[in-house]
Structure 1
Amino acid sequence: MNRTPWRRRREPLDHVDMAGLLPAPGDPVLSRDRLSTLEEHLMNEIRQAGAQREADVDEGLRAHPPRPGSNPETGAVASGAPRRTGRRLALIGAAVAVAVLAGAAGAAQLTGGEAAEAGGPPPGSVRASVVQVAQGTTEGLGGTVDRISGAAVREQLPDPRPGQFIYIESEVSWLTISEDADTGKSETYVQKLHPRQVWMSPDGRKGWLIEPGNGTTSEEGMTLEGDGETPEPSLNAPSYDYLKTLTTDPDVLLKKIYEETEGQGNSPDQQAFTTIGDLVMEQLLPAELTSALYRAAAKIPGVVVVKDTTDAAGRHGIAIARTDETSGDRTEWIFDPKTFSYLGERTVQMRDAEGIKAGTVIGHTAITERAVVDGMKELPGSGSRA
């Protein structure tokens, strides 16, 4: 979090006489310990929001459920529903899930009035790009999912053994909110595209993250081992060992997803879609489970095919997508148009909302490496360490 010193506002002229009767007030300065405590509190709030998958701006969100039958492309809903400020980038294991969320749930910068007047993006951020958005269709959805599911089975990676680590390397960029602490006015930017490296043990107890591009970690990275007792793994905090136990029947799997995520997110359907998306993005899954997850996703109302989109690396692909009826943004899972292998994910605003114009790309990822390695921080192929 960027700290900007608090500054007292200039007093209006009618306060001059009173000022002469009182000792001059000092500028309050928080101690270093207090600043550290407040910063840690904010980071905890960000982590907790990410752990809930689709973080609500406030509890009022559930008072404005999406209208049944709303258009999956326009996302039209009753007014008054706040949009989410961030979303989690990955689900990586029961013990390490919370720690990794600090860099994935979005970033918030609080500034004083004078800093806000100067304008400009927060450090490490840029204006979000606005693109011409292709409309989605349900035509050809079944056949596309069949091809994607078949490709997932063919791309099976080695089953990680105890002591080995799952390695995921990607390029990522997510929403950043810059807010003026005095006026409450906020502006929206996106992080500069930056690399992210994650190592995870199959049992979910050990992990490491390197993501210095947005300030989440130093160049050396950070441990993702949780403090205290490791929680039971679940869909919201999975490990590879846990995922191996899941059914590969798409109907039974989808039912389980709806049951375990009940009450989360902006709607049951959107939450189910997002849960599947998080599982396939930054994890290593048994091939048959990956195939079943894609087939389950095709059964969720509002899911469409987008015939042309691009991932964070600029690779064109075909996408399976769904628009959040409440926030109006569409999440696209992007696949190679020839091999149907997974490339990455894009989130694009489908309608104007909260100052964000339709067509604004508010999230972008590209998976560049997915492998099994023999040690923590080991890089695939070379045996060298990051």
Structure 2
Amino acid sequence: MIRKESRREESLDDAELARLLPAPGDPHLSLDRHLLLEEHLMNELRTPAPAPTPAAVPPRRVTRRFLLIGVPVTAAALAGAFAFTTMDDPGASGTTEATPAPVEAPVVRIEAGTTAQLAATVERIATAASARRTPEPAPGQYIYVKSQVSSVVVSHTDEYKTKTLVQPLHIREVWNSPDGKQGWLDEPGYKPKGGITLDSSVDDTVNAPSYNYLKTLPTDPDALLKKIYTETKGQGNSPDQEAFATVGDLLGEQLAPAKLTAALYRAAAKIPGVVVVNHVKDAAAREGIALAHVDDKSGDRTEWIFDPKTYSYLGSRAVQINEANDIKPGTVLEYTAVLERAVVDAKKQRPGTQGAGA
């Protein structure tokens, strides 16, 4: 059917316009996304950039919050707000390597989640985690995590229709001391050459924990989940989504004691809306089974992916389930793959090397 639209040529007064236009929305951004937008605005103030031409708007990557694995920065949170252009990381020494041009986000077939296998699947994942030997980092050592990652970026001007664009897959390496006070991040193309410091004096929280802090958390799933809900109250789009995201924060670029890891999985199974999704691939194209939860406001589903045989954690993925802000269902907004996790003797040292620390 072809729909014909007529154009009203007479002028409209303010009252009539208010009546015709839809009521403004009241979107609620999580604390993580507020932090990302705040950082972007500060970077805009500090870093002058030439105005891009509407025909080709170079994208600007918004720096991910460290440990932000469970909560992707969705285009729904950013669409229509800014024009993004490539930039260096202000305040960091060194020269940023050329940032790779973004690519269109992949689109996958959406597989429905189910609760039928939830209890059994979580128990298998938790049992495997309990039996897995986890290295104990000593003072002076560092927790090393190497991942392959891709996150969403958004290009938009008044003359350039919003498209869902993502970074090309690339390597990200993180070093963190057990107390969380010292660290290093190397992400070529997105950080200054050689990496940047992650040194911090901020106190630990469930959203940004150190290894030493994780050791203090309860290993009873009910007590653990209660603590997570209490400490994240008022954050995120809903208490359940924020709780799920917080557990996800503890799984990616961190090392947790085996008993706590098992407790986290069992706690996650108690969050309303958590489902099992089969046949999910991580950023390294490894197929697994996922525990997942949909954010009802943004319409995307966060998935933690596990090896279907060993039940070890592989990575994460965020997929748009319900269309929002012109993002099509099936669009992959973020995906990661943990390639290596180890304890090393020095910052910047990689497993299997000696004397490479700095």
TM-score normalised by structure 2 residue count: 0.75
One-letter code aligned to 2:171: P
Aligned to 1:244: 215
For residue 123 of structure 1, report the CA deviation from its aligned partner: 4.5
- Is 1:200 equivalent to 2:176 in the alignment? yes
For the Cα contact (< 8 Å) 2:104–2:163, is it kept in 1?
no
Aligned to 1:83: 76
CA gap of 1:345–1:256, structure 2 versus 1, over 3 A, is same
In 2, Cα distance between equivalents of 1:362 and 1:343: 17
CA-atom RMSD, angstroms?
2.9
Structure 2 residue corresponding to 1:144, chosen from 116, 121, 125: 121
Secondary structure class of the residue paired with 1:83: helix
Percent identity of paired positions between Structure 1 and Structure 2? 54
Structure 2 residue corresponding to 1:335, chosen from 295, 299, 306: 306
Aligned to 1:70: none
One-letter code aligned to 2:230: E
Structure 2 residue corresponding to 1:257, chosen from 209, 224, 228: 228
Secondary structure class of the residue paired with 2:251: helix
Secondary structure class of the residue paired with 2:216: coil
Aligned to 2:47: 39
CA gap of 1:55–1:126, structure 2 versus 1, over 3 A, is closer
Structure 2 residue corresponding to 1:130, chosen from 107, 110, 126: 107
CA gap of 1:36–1:110, structure 2 versus 1, over 3 A, is closer
- Is 1:355 equivalent to 2:329 in the alignment? no
One-letter code aligned to 1:294: Y
For the Cα contact (< 8 Å) 1:145–1:294, is it kept in 2?
yes
Structure 2 residue corresponding to 1:380, chosen from 336, 347, 351: 351
Structure 1 residue corresponding to 2:132, chosen from 155, 168, 173: 155
Aligned to 1:109: 84
Q: Which runs of 5+ in 1 are unaligned?
A: 1-33, 58-81, 87-106, 112-121
CA gap of 1:291–1:160, structure 2 versus 1, over 3 A, is same
- Is 1:218 equivalent to 2:192 in the alignment? yes
For residue 85 of structure 1, report the CA deviation from its aligned partner: 3.5
Aligned to 1:366: 337
For the Cα contact (< 8 Å) 1:49–1:56, is it kept in 2?
no
Aligned to 1:62: none
Secondary structure class of the residue paired with 1:137: coil
For the Cα contact (< 8 Å) 2:149–2:337, is it kept in 1?
yes
For residue 245 of structure 1, report the CA deviation from its aligned partner: 0.4
For the Cα contact (< 8 Å) 2:219–2:259, is it kept in 1?
yes
For the Cα contact (< 8 Å) 1:323–1:331, is it kept in 2?
yes
One-letter code aligned to 2:270: K
For the Cα contact (< 8 Å) 2:221–2:266, is it kept in 1?
yes
Deviation digits for residues 341-368 of structure 1 (CA, Å, limit 9, x no counterpart): 0000011111211111101111110000
For residue 46 of structure 1, report the CA deviation from its aligned partner: 6.1
Secondary structure class of the residue paired with 1:166: strand
One-letter code aligned to 1:346: R
Secondary structure class of the residue paired with 1:284: coil
In 1, Cα distance between equivalents of 2:65 and 2:107: 30
One-letter code aligned to 1:248: T
Deviation digits for residues 190-245 of structure 1 (CA, Å, limit 9, x no counterpart): 100000000000001100000013x2x1331111113xxx1221112211111100
Aligned to 1:5: none
For the Cα contact (< 8 Å) 1:56–1:265, is it kept in 2?
no
For residue 156 of structure 1, report the CA deviation from its aligned partner: 2.8
Aligned to 2:33: none
**Which structure: greater helix fraction?**
1
In 1, Cα distance between equivalents of 2:312 and 2:287: 12
For residue 184 of structure 1, report the CA deviation from its aligned partner: 7.8
In 2, Cα distance between equivalents of 1:178 and 1:193: 18
Aligned to 1:317: 288
In 2, Cα distance between equivalents of 1:239 and 1:169: 17
Secondary structure class of the residue paired with 1:368: strand
Deviation digits for residues 115-140 of structure 1 (CA, Å, limit 9, x no counterpart): xxxxxxx9531011111111100001
For residue 49 of structure 1, report the CA deviation from its aligned partner: 11
Structure 1 residue corresponding to 2:163, chosen from 172, 187, 190: 187
Q: Which runs of 5+ in 2 are unaligned?
A: 1-41, 49-59, 87-98
One-letter code aligned to 2:203: E
For residue 172 of structure 1, report the CA deviation from its aligned partner: 0.1
For residue 55 of structure 1, report the CA deviation from its aligned partner: 8.9
Deviation digits for residues 3-38 of structure 1 (CA, Å, limit 9, x no counterpart): xxxxxxxxxxxxxxxxxxxxxxxxxxxxxxx99843
For residue 377 of structure 1, report the CA deviation from its aligned partner: 0.7
User: Residues 277-296 of structure 1: matches in 2 within 5 Å?
Assistant: 277-296=248-267
For the Cα contact (< 8 Å) 2:67–2:250, is it kept in 1?
no
Secondary structure class of the residue paired with 2:77: coil
In 1, Cα distance between equivalents of 2:113 and 2:196: 39
In 1, Cα distance between equivalents of 2:333 and 2:64: 19
In 1, Cα distance between equivalents of 2:71 and 2:289: 24
